[in-house]
C-alpha cells in the first residue's frame, strides 16, 4: 500500500482488540489459543505504531465486564498479561512510554508491582505512549473522575462551578494525553463496548471485518488511510 511516510505521524489511535475467541473456535482451538495469538499481534502492532510515528495508542485488553467469562479463560488472559509485563515490554532502550488504564487494585499484587515499575521506569520517555486498558470501563472511569472532584468540592478545595470539561478530563486515566483521533474495531462489530466513552466524543470510528489475531500491519495502514479520508468538522461546517 502506497502512502506518505508521514501519513500516521502524530495520530492517537484507540484499538478494541476483538475476535480472539471466534478466531480460535473457527480453528477448533481453545479460546486461550486465540488470546495467545492476539497478544502476539498486539506486540507487533504496538511496535509498528512506534515505527510510524504515532503519538499514542490505546489498547483495550480486558474490560470490567470480562470478569464474567469462565475462570479458566480469565486466568489464561491474566497469565498472558503477566508474561508480557515481564518479557514483552522490553523498552529500556526505546523511547516509548507505558501507561495503564483501569482499576488495578483488584489485580494480583505482583502484577500491580510490575505495572507500577513499567510506568515509573518509562515516565521520562518522550516518544510513543502505549496505553493498555486492563480491568477498564468507560463508565467507571467517568464515575471515578466525578467522585474525585466531588471529594475536592466537599473539602472546600473547589466550587461546583469550577467543575468544567477540562477539570473532569484532568481526572481521567488519560490526563495529559491526546484524545483518540479514531477508534478501530476489528472483528466486524460496530460498538464501543464501554471503551473511552469520555475521550471518544469526536473520535472517528473505523470498523474492519478481520478478527484481531489475523490483524496485520497492512490492516492498520488501511485503517489509517480510511481515517485520513474523513472530514472532521467537530460540529462545525
Question: What's the confidence (pLDDT) of residue 76?
Answer: 87
Question: What's the confidence (pLDDT) of residue 88?
Answer: 58
Is 27 marked as a binding-site residue? no
CA distances from 164 to 16, 37, 168, 180, 220 (A): 28, 42, 6, 20, 35
Q: Which CATH superfamily is domain 12-137+178-229 in?
A: Decaprenyl diphosphate synthase-like (3.40.1180.10)
What is the distance, to the nearest Å, from the Cα of residue 64 to the centroid of all Cα atoms in its chain? Answer: 14
Q: Which of 66, 121, 194, 214 is catalytic?
A: 66
Is 31 marked as a binding-site residue? yes
d(CA 127, CA 53): 8
Q: What is the pLDDT of residues 44-71, one digit of tens each?
A: 999 999 999 999 999 999 999 999 999 9
Mean per-residue pLDDT, 175-199? 96
Give the phi and the psi of residue 93 in degrees, each rounded to 5: -105, 15
Is 67 marked as a binding-site residue? yes
Question: What's the confidence (pLDDT) of residue 89?
Answer: 63
Q: Which residue has the cell 510513543?
A: 128
Give percent above pLDDT 70 in the chain. Answer: 95
Q: What is the pTM of this model?
A: 0.93
Weakest mean pLDDT among 11-20, 92-101, 195-204, 209-218: 92-101
Is 23 marked as a binding-site residue? yes
Collapsed DSSP state (helix, strand, coil) of residue 132: strand
**Known catalytic residue at 18:** yes
Q: Which of 18, 131, 135, 181 is catalytic?
A: 18
Is 139 marked as a binding-site residue? no
Give percent above pLDDT 90 in the chain. Answer: 80
Amino acid at each position: 500500500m502506497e502512502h506518505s511516510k508521514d501519513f500516521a505521524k502524530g495520530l492517537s489511535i484507540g484499538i478494541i482488540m476483538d475476535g480472539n475467541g471466534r478466531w480460535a473456535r473457527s480453528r477448533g482451538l481453545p479460546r486461550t489459543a486465540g488470546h495467545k495469538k492476539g497478544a502476539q499481534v498486539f506486540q507487533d502492532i504496538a511496535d509498528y505504531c512506534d515505527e510510524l510515528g504515532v503519538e499514542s495508542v490505546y489498547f483495550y485488553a480486558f474490560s470490567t465486564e470480562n470478569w464474567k467469562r469462565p475462570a479458566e479463560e480469565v486466568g489464561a488472559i491474566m497469565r498472558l498479561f503477566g508474561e508480557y509485563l515481564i518479557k514483552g515490554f522490553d523498552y529500556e532502550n526505546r523511547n516509548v512510554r507505558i501507561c495503564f488504564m483501569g482499576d488495578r487494585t483488584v489485580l494480583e499484587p505482583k502484577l500491580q508491582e510490575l505495572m507500577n515499575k513499567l510506568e515509573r521506569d518509562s515516565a521520562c520517555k518522550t516518544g510513543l505512549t502505549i496505553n493498555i486498558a486492563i480491568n477498564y470501563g468507560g463508565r467507571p472511569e467517568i464515575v471515578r473522575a466525578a467522585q474525585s472532584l466531588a471529594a475536592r468540592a466537599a473539602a472546600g478545595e473547589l466550587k461546583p462551578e469550577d467543575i468544567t470539561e477540562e477539570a473532569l478530563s484532568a481526572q481521567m486515566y488519560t490526563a495529559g494525553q491526546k484524545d483518540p483521533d479514531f477508534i478501530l474495531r476489528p472483528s466486524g462489530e460496530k460498538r464501543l463496548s464501554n471503551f473511552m466513552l469520555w475521550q471518544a466524543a469526536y473520535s472517528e470510528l473505523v470498523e474492519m471485518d478481520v478478527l484481531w489475531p489475523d490483524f496485520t500491519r497492512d490492516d492498520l495502514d488501511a485503517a489509517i488511510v480510511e481515517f485520513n479520508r474523513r472530514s472532521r468538522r467537530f460540529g462545525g461546517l
